[in-house]
Amino acid sequence: MNATALIAEDEPLLAAHLKAELARQWPELEIVASVGNGDAAVQQALALRPQVLFLDIRMPGLSGLEAAHALAEDWPDGSPFPLLVFVTAHDEYAIEAFERAAFDYVLKPATAERLAQTCSRLQDALRQRAQAPVQGNELDAAVAQLRGLLAQAPAAPAAPRLSVIQAGVGSTIHMVKVDEVLYFEAADKYVRVVTADHEHLIRLSLRELLPQLDPQRFWQIHRGTVVRADAVATAVRDESGKLTLSLREHADKLAVSRLYAHLFKAL
């Protein structure tokens, strides 16, 4: 059957091997793009909207799993979400996690036998989609699967909890109490630290910062945003189901991505 796919793999030889093997196993499959990093995978997938994505787990920039999360957050409503196949080296955790979350995977280098199974599953899934009108539930199902993977991810190494953030501006260092931070937001190579009265930039990634924050107090609500839970005044859901947060001490509104909307439920 005819279908479109994108390959995200940072090792050119392995990407070429996968592409050649797919051509043998599924001649009608059109590879619309082959990219070498997770950021390009997100950009090209949003632009081209392939039906299938082959995502290498370990890539420069965003990992395959992070790229999948980014796509789940940014994918347009009403458009079928791609079927995801993760490409990984032999990793017992990854294999077990993918199987529990019902994602398909192939091990590097992809063997003809294993890839044949994957192609057959993908074709069956695409036929089922073609027989039923799109109702948006594919994206909901993918988000639920990705949440499952997030829940199974190994815990980050224990790190001392931050009580003060040292934010440098020129020759001055501002000592910002973590208790006063309303939210953190990723900004290129920096993180914005927003309090009721000021904001600062620190040269630290959100990924490095998160293990140093108390997860009971600071909630990730988007891949690039972490909010202090008790700084949230309201969570409002619009007609399309999207959540927006209002803060107690700041006029900024914060969007909650699909992956984290389940955190806000009325008791």
Given this model, what pLDDT does residue 222 score?
Answer: 95
Residues 135 and 96 in one domain: yes
Q: Which of 31-35, 174-178, 204-208, 244-248 has the lowest mean pLDDT?
A: 204-208
Q: Considering the domain boundaries, does residue 157 fall inside one?
A: no
Residues 22 and 145 in one domain: yes
Residues 133 and 168 in one domain: no
pLDDT digits (tens, 9 = 90+) for 2-22: 999 999 999 999 999 999 999
C-alpha torsion angle, residues 19, 56, 98, 82 (rounded to 10): -60
User: What's at 96, amino acid-wise?
Assistant: E
The domain tally of the chain equals 2
| CA 143 to each of CA 24, 44, 232, 256: distance values in angstroms, whole numbers, following the listed order | 31, 20, 24, 13
Q: Considering the domain boundaries, does residue 158 fall inside one?
A: no
Domain final position from 152, 176, 206? 152
Name the band, by pLDDT with cuts 50, 70 and 90, for residue 170. confident
Q: What is the pTM of this model?
A: 0.84
Q: Considering the domain boundaries, does residue 141 fall inside one?
A: yes
Residues 205 and 106 in one domain: no
Which structural domain range is residue 240 located in?
Answer: 164-263
Q: Considering the domain boundaries, does residue 218 fall inside one?
A: yes
Sign of torsion, CA 94 99 100 104?
positive
Half-sphere exposure of 37 (CA within 13 A, CB side): 5
CATH of the domain at 225: 2.40.50.1020
Given this model, what pLDDT does residue 135 score?
Answer: 55
Residues 128 and 179 in one domain: no
Residues 126 and 12 in one domain: yes
Q: Considering the domain boundaries, does residue 209 fall inside one?
A: yes
Residues 199 and 99 in one domain: no
Residues 29 and 129 in one domain: yes
Q: Which whole number is the average pLDDT over 126-150?
A: 80
Do residues 150 and 259 touch, judged by C-beta distance below 8 A? Answer: yes
Given this model, what pLDDT does residue 165 score?
Answer: 96
Number of Cβ atoms within 10 Å of the Cβ of 126: 17
Q: What is the mean pLDDT of the chain?
A: 90
